[in-house]
Amino acid sequence: MPLPSLQEQLAALIAAPSVSCTQAKLDQSNRAVVEQLAGWLGDLGFTCELQEVQPGKFNLLASRGQGSGGLVLAGHTDTVPYNDSLWRSDPLRLTERDGRFYGLGVCDMKGFFPLVIEALQGGLLDQPWRQPLLILATCDEESSMSGARALADSRRSIGRAAVIGEPTGLRPIRLHKGVMMERIDILGQSGHSSNPQLGRSALEAMHDAMGELQGLRRQWQAEFSNAQFSVPQPTLNFGCIHGGDNPNRICGQCSLEFDLRPLPGMDPEWLRAAIREKLTPLAERHRVQIDYGPIFPGVPPFEQAADSELVQLAERLTGFTAEAVAFGTEAPYLQQLGCETLILGPGDIDCAHQPDEYLDLARIAPTVQLLRQLIRHYCL
């Protein structure tokens, strides 16, 4: 039975919701996505292994060929949460208009996998293979990176070179910042709003805590800079805040989750110590309890040597010098397994994590051609 067309594969993957989120009520399984991929790749002769990392969360390792080297083509199967009212079309239905495919994950980054499958159907599977190809589809990249962490913890040998198809506009990326996802919980005392003395407002304490974080952000951005990045300073983003339950009650509890992107050379534990130093006197002043720590272990900064085989090959095939980006990826974890690692994919990061996420149709053929060249170099 022939495989579905590239467009049909894209539509099927996008129709299978697989949101990964720090908020349990929004978090979803990726099982339907990896099982769909395993079915298609199995039909192409790949040996498929599903690894359950956490309940409902799976990695897929699909391999073809034998040997100790070879190529890894990697990506994540999860997406960020979405607000369908902000989309011009259904985010879970592939839509084509204006020379683009629209849909949740089509850019970041479910769309990468059908392009890999398309590349494989160009006669490559009929040729003798010297080294294996591993297609790796992970879970929870958008939140905990638990899929990539589990793989790194396994110390499993997966290949000589790894290309992660994150959205880079088909420009090779060899450096990125670290990622820290942090949380502050403040416990005060609720009370009637008519008398402030009846309670201790967690919301007002959080307001001051956010002010301290903004001050640290200004300080770090003045002290640290790396011109290799398009955003040369470290960044700190307030992602979500929750607190209180009614206007006429003093807020008794408040929580804040924020994202910190340190440059190489900025020690995450040093940054956390600086934040704690600001929060301690604030808790005393407001007479509240403040708990602070990481939501997940931080993602390390990543750098692949400019003179490595993979970087030089990618630069020759694309015509672009490898660059740096501000967003984090699973690259450090694949690198820990002994792979030369590069980030290179067809989407544009500027439309990722936003309504009306898209993939330019004009990127499809060049991506398929590039993938075939990489497979020939490392596997044939």
Catalytic residues: 78, 141
Which neighbouring-strand residues pair with 360? Answer: 100
Three-state secondary structure call for residue 324: strand
Rounded CA separation 22/9 (Å): 28
Peptide bond into 109 cis (omega under 30): yes
DSSP per-residue letters across 86-154: GSSS-TTS-EEETTEEESTTTTTTTTHHHHHHHHHTTTGGGS--SS-EEEEEES-TTTT-HHHHHHHHH
Q: Any residues with CB less than 8 A from the CB of 117 and at least 6 apart, and which?
A: 3, 6, 9, 40, 41, 44
Helices 309-318, 364-379: axis angle to 10 degrees equals 140
Between β-strands 235-243 and 253-261, what pairing exists: parallel, antiparallel or unpaired?
Answer: antiparallel
What's the rounded Cα separation, in Å, for the pair 261 and 267?
11
SS3 of 25, please? coil
Span between the terminal Cα atoms of the chain, in Å:
26
Identify any residues that bridge with 323 across adjacent strands, giving them in sequence order. 173
Instruction: Please provide residue 278's backbone torsions phi and psi, each rounded to the nearest 5 degrees.
Output: -80, -30
* Residues in Cβ contact with 376 at an 8 Å cutoff, skipping those fewer than 6 apart: 124
Which of helix, strand or coil describes residue 319?
A: coil
> How many CA atoms lie within 13 Å of 27's alpha carbon, on the beta-carbon side?
14
Please say whether the beta carbons of 111 and 347 come within 8 A: yes
Burial class (CB in 10 A: 0-12, 13-18, 19+), 78: buried
